Amino acid sequence: AQRVTQPEKLLSVFKGAPVELKCNYSYSGSPELFWYVQYSRQRLQLLLRHISRESIKGFTADLNKGETSFHLKKPFAQEEDSAMYYCALSGHGGGATNKLIFGTGTLLAVQP
């Protein structure tokens, strides 16, 4: 079964510290992985996806098929990074691409 696990409900770090938001997935085929972010009083929006291999706002995420992980990383946290982060998975090919499975989310709190 498709599943996305975000083990941490809350991650609190100090400004300038490295950040790693964990995401593990379960999927039998080739998944598409995404990170979505929801800032306070804003809409949920796409942060990045693994196929684009780009860095957005200093965040990167590498798909590790061996460990079935897609952890989100940033070397130096900023206060404006404080938000709710969701990891999400979609299948690849055919009807599997039409569903998007979200994890339960991790609230990142960056302390000054």
Partner 1 sequence: EAQVTQNPRYLITVTGKKLTVTCSQNMNHEYMSWYRQDPGLGLRQIYYSMNVEVTDKGDVPEGYKVSRKEKRNFPLILESPSPNQTSLYFCASSFGQGAYEQYFGPGTRLTVT
Task: State residue 80 phi and psi, 5-degree precision.
Answer: -70, -5
Those residues whose C-beta lies under 8 Å from the C-beta of residue 22, and which sit 6 or more positions away, are 6, 7, 8, 69, 71, 106
Which of 15/38 has CB closer to partner 1? Answer: 38
Q: Which stretch binds partner 1 (CB under 8 A): 11-19, 20-28, 56-64, 93-101?
A: 93-101
Using rule CB under 8 A, residue 26 touches partner 1:
no
The amino acid occupying position 92 is H
Q: Which stretch binds partner 1 (CB under 8 A): 14-22, 37-45, 57-65, 73-81?
A: 37-45
Choice from 49, 61, 72, 74 touching partner 1 (CB under 8 A): 49
Alpha carbon distances (Å) from 29 to 32, 75, 83: 10, 31, 30
Q: Where on the chain is the footprint of partner 1 (CB under 8 A)?
A: 6, 9, 32, 34, 36, 43-46, 49, 86, 90, 95, 97-105
